[in-house]
Amino acid sequence: MMNASAASVHTLLVVEDDAQIRDFLQLSLRAAGYVPLLARTLAEALQLWQDKQPAMLILDLGLPDGDGLSLIKTLRARSDRPILVLSARQSEQDKVQCLNQGADDYLAKPFGVDELLARIRVALRRMERMQLRDQRYQVEALQIDLADGLVRLHGEALHLSPLEYKLLMQLAQHAGRVMTHRQLLQAVWGAEYVDDTHYLRIHMGRLRAKIERDPAAPRYLITELGIGYRLAAS
Amino acid sequence: MMNASAASVHTLLVVEDDAQIRDFLQLSLRAAGYVPLLARTLAEALQLWQDKQPAMLILDLGLPDGDGLSLIKTLRARSDRPILVLSARQSEQDKVQCLNQGADDYLAKPFGVDELLARIRVALRRMERMQLRDQRYQVEALQIDLADGLVRLHGEALHLSPLEYKLLMQLAQHAGRVMTHRQLLQAVWGAEYVDDTHYLRIHMGRLRAKIERDPAAPRYLITELGIGYRLAAS
DNA sequence: TGGCCGGTATATCAACCGCATAAACGCGCG
DNA sequence: CGCGCGTTTATGCGGTTGATATACCGGCCA
């Protein structure tokens, strides 16, 4: 059985110029089960944001190379992900300005780790509710709602096992493109199972039995010989 | 600063026992274009919440007639609307506890009006993105009124324990969609109970005993193996 | 054409894990 | 004290999973 917590590992972008605080944040976040990405400057932050697409931003104001507010505005324009601002400044005006520009929360230094973690949790919790909203995949009679966690065939829901569901979601997220055996095994079973293509065959078979009208001549779940599998695109 | 347009006038429930602060909040909020509803006690608050369905809750901790935390848990179990906590207590533990139980923000006294307004704006802004769903749920003989908190089976109201009620409301709010064990535990028991799935099983069983005609073959309360539960949609 | 072979699909079955249910316990409250 | 409710403990059941075995299918070559 796969690890449940592995599914909800969040990547957090931390923008902080002070090396000491940066280390402190890195350790705390990692200890709490997150994957922190560290940036020292706004430019670096923007790069990482686009590159890694972290779940949220933790931004320390007062960076050397520019105004933190501009980063908030920029990111808010592109994404709905949570932004939490840390700052040494206590002034109400600063807070109001940040919040108005699109920040979701503002935490003044000095703060406790526990409060920081709690506020991160709040932000992520809320985001998860909104996030899976309009992700939907459809080809012919097969329809996959990631939001509802439902898979429909000719309109009526069909029942998948957790593993089959994971597998199908994985394919649906890269619909139309080939996913290699290794990729699928890595994503569904974990890194240790990367070579056991055997598992894949079995469960692909079971998936086809439920999804395909004629499993011997699959219309949705295409096998790419010697490479992997692919979910047909519209 | 411009006012929110008249089209989006928001009703805010303010729970505050100190008359002076209450007046102050009332005036400030009204001046900012909101419609404040005032409550002195938890009972009153609960009543107004069900009655008027305000857009969010602003809760002062330390009320005379009970624990504010319980109100947070109760409301969070029934609704996704924002909860902002005000408190004289500065301790980190208080903050963490509130945030874990489902509060969206925590503002320690003394605070400035502008910051309060900014944080309210953030909460409402975010909420508007999430579309609230219908306040009534019905499938076949099962009918749930989220507004007045009534559950009917074949037309006649049936009695649920507070916990069963919370559980069912939570499911009804996301009717048709799978709710994970973690989500349900977080919403009903709190963030600390996120891993105790056995609580869920037991109380789901009791819910089914009251709701389902044949609990062994549930029609409304569907279990999604390895994932969570789902209230069947029409 | 027929046989071999790598890669792939299906069948069967046992072990295990997650789930449901029952029943006992503890606690607050009238 | 007895009642209602939430928690804890115990136990049986069924679905899911993965191991093993067997059948398939196309390409290649003699």
Through-space distance between the first and last CA atoms of chain B, rounded to whole angstroms: 45
- As a whole number, mean pLDDT of residues B11-34 equals 94
B1 has pLDDT over 60 = no
Q: Which segments within A91-224 are labelled E, that is strand?
A: 105-108, 136-139, 142-145, 150-153, 156-158, 178-180, 221-224
The answer to whether A99 contacts B121, with C-beta atoms less than 8 Å apart, is: yes
Mean pLDDT of B11-25: 93
Both tokens of B83, joined, read 């909860």
Interface of A with B (CB under 8 A): 1, 8, 80, 92-93, 95-96, 99-100, 103-105, 112, 114-115, 117-119, 121-122, 125-126, 129-130, 147-150, 161-162, 165
Q: How many other C-beta atoms are found inside a 10 Å radius of the C-beta of residue A97?
A: 18
pLDDT per residue as tens digits for the range A86-123: 998 888 999 999 999 999 999 998 999 999 999 999 99
A150 and B178 within 8 Å at the Cβ level: the answer is yes
Confidence of residue A3 (pLDDT cuts 50, 70, 90): very low
The fold adopted by the segment(s) A136-231 is Arc Repressor Mutant, subunit A (1.10.10)
Q: Which of B84, B85, B94, B95 to mutate to test the interface with A (most CBs of A within 10 A)?
A: B95
Alpha-carbon gap: A226 to the closest alpha carbon of chain B (Å): 32
Query: Which pairing describes strands A228-231 and B178-180: parallel, antiparallel, or unpaired?
Result: unpaired
Task: Say if the Cβ atoms of A115 and B92 lie within 8 Å.
Answer: yes
- Does the pLDDT value for residue B132 go beyond 60? no
Which tokens sit at A103? 């920040």
Q: How far is the CA of B196 from the C1' of C24 (A)?
A: 20
pLDDT tier, B128 (very low <50, low <70, confident <90, very high otherwise): confident
**Half-sphere CA count of B96, side-chain side, radius 13 A:** 12
Q: Which residues of B touch A121 (CB under 8 A)?
A: 99-100, 191
Choose the most confident range, by mean pLDDT, from A71-85, A101-115, B79-93. A101-115
Q: Name A residues 162-221 whose Cβ lies under 7 Å from strand C.
A: 197, 201-202, 204-205, 208-209, 215-216
End-to-end CA distance of chain A: 32
Q: What is the pLDDT, as a whole number, of residue B101?
A: 86
How far apart are the C-alpha atoms of B130 and B118, rounded to whole Å? Answer: 19
Which backbone phi and psi does B132 adopt, to 5 degrees? -75, 145
β-bridge mates for residue A56, sequence order = A12
Task: Please report residues of B whose CB lies closer than 8 A to that of A150.
Answer: 177-178
Domain extent listing, chain B:
6-129, 136-231
For residues A169 and A151, what is the distance between their CA atoms, to the nearest angstrom?
10
Strand D contacted by A163 CB (< 7 A): yes
At the fourth CATH level, which superfamily is domain A4-131?
Answer: Response regulator (3.40.50.2300)
Which is nearest to A127 in space by CA: A5, A43, A208, A12? A12
A165 and B80 within 8 Å at the Cβ level: the answer is no
Among B131, B234, B225, smallest CA distance to B175 is for B234
Reply yes or no on whether the pLDDT at B140 is more than 50. Answer: yes
Residue B6, pLDDT > 60, answer: no
CA atoms of B194 and A125, how far apart (whole Å): 12
Question: Which residues of chain A lie closer than 8 angstroms to B105, CB-CB?
Answer: 105, 122
Mean pLDDT of all residues belonging to chain B: 86
Check whether A226 has a pLDDT greater than 90: no
Buried b (16+ CB within 10 A) or exposed e, A129-146: eeeeeeeebebeebbbbb
DSSP character at residue B213: S
Average pLDDT over residues B47-52: 83
User: DSSP 3-state helix, strand, coil percentages of chain B (rounded to 5)?
Assistant: 45, 20, 35
B191 CB neighbours in chain A (<8 A) are 121
Mean pLDDT of B165-188: 87
The answer to whether A84 and A123 are in contact (CB under 8 A) is yes
What single DSSP character describes residue A54?
A: -
The answer to whether some atom of strand D lies closer than 7 Å to the beta carbon of B178 is no
CA distance B122 to B112: 16
Strand, coil or helix: B11: strand
B101: nearest CA partner in chain A:
A122
Averaged pLDDT for residues B30-57: 89
Q: Which of B221, B185, B215, B212 is nearest to B200 (CA)?
A: B185
| pLDDT in the model for residue B66 | 59
**pLDDT of A1 strictly over 50:** no
Q: Which of B112, B115, B224 is closest, CB to CB, to A149?
A: B224
- The stretch A159-170 carries a mean pLDDT of 89
Residues B138-159, mean pLDDT to the nearest whole number: 82
- CATH fold for the domain made of B6-129: Rossmann fold (3.40.50)
> Nearest residue of A to residue B187 by CA position?
A125
Q: Which residues in A lie closer than 8 A to residue B177 (C-beta atoms)?
A: 147-150
Give B53-79 pLDDT, tens digit per residue.
899 999 998 765 557 888 888 888 778
Most confident of A43-52, A65-74, B25-34, B204-213: B25-34
Per-residue pLDDT, averaged over A197-207, amounts to 92
**What integer is the mean pLDDT of A191-201?**
89
Instruction: For residues B53 and B13, give the distance between their C-alpha atoms in angstroms, rounded to a whole number.
Output: 9
Do the chains contact at B227 and A149, CB–CB below 8 Å? Answer: yes
pLDDT band, residue B131 (cuts 50/70/90): low
A31-41 confidence digits (pLDDT tens): 998 999 999 98
Would strands A136-139 and A105-108 be described as parallel, antiparallel, or unpaired? Answer: unpaired
